[in-house]
Amino acid sequence: MVATLFSLPLGMLIAYALARGRFVGKSLLDALVHLPLVAPPVVTGYGLLLLFGMRGPVGGWLHEHFGLVLAFRWTGAALASAVMGLPLMVRPMRLSLEAVDRRLERAATTLGAPPWWRLVTVTLPLAFPGILAGVVLSFARSFGEFGATITFVGSIEGETRTLPLQIYNLLQVPGGETAALRLCLLSIAIAFVALMASEWLARRASAGRQGL
């Protein structure tokens, strides 16, 4: 949940920039956002370690000025999950924003609505099902993150051990298969509910656009 909330403002900003913006490097931004989907998670985790570790340019600066440590902390686990879930958050949001009827926005402008009020009262409500679908998918992806997390923050009990890491650790212990199976079933149930919710929201958004 922390990972999803952490990435939501950035995901919204990127989705809006990709959907509506015209700027140099737009394709590069799109590729960078979706890179965690195709790159090995371990590579993403190692990249986070290089950047946000104690000796990394960002991590060192955060520690020096704010005393904030991300590597091998729960905050780092949240960051890794957020990075891995960001592509699945941005894509539905972007598609939903692109599908908003511009004529309705122009009508609001004609009626005297400033850009920020038009965004709040017209664009975002129409795109809301897609935005929510992105949040749900991002949560499901971050909930099941393993590779980037174990590379960046390890598997420290009570600190960075997520559900997938706990399943992995149980499988290394004799007699832990039963407990691991229960956690696997829980993970499958959560993922299934998230996918069903995302599909329902996508259909609702499509039906709403057709109704307009």
In DSSP notation, 103-140 reads HHHHHHHHTT--HHHHIIIIIHHHHHHHHHHHHHHHHH
Q: Measured between alpha carbons, how far is 81 from 205 in angstroms, rounded to an integer?
A: 27
Print pLDDT tens along the chain (212 aa).
Answer: 678 888 899 999 999 999 988 888 899 999 999 999 889 999 999 999 999 998 889 999 998 888 888 988 998 999 999 999 999 999 989 988 988 888 888 888 888 888 888 888 888 888 888 888 889 888 888 888 899 999 999 888 888 888 899 999 999 888 889 999 999 999 888 888 888 887 787 676 666 555 55
Nearest to 156 by CA among 69, 66, 77, 58: 77
Number of helical H runs and strand E runs in the chain: 11, 0
* Number of domains composing the chain: 1
pLDDT at 211: 53
Domain limits for position 116 = 2-211
pLDDT at 61: 92
Q: Which residue has the tokens 């122009």?
A: 106
Cβ atoms of residues 105 and 127 within 8 Å: no
pLDDT at 212: 52
Cβ atoms of residues 136 and 57 within 8 Å: no
Q: Measured between alpha carbons, how far is 102 from 111 in angstroms, rounded to an integer?
A: 14
pLDDT at 87: 93
pLDDT at 21: 86
pLDDT at 120: 87
* CATH number of residue 135's parent domain: 1.10.3720.10
Cβ atoms of residues 126 and 208 within 8 Å: yes
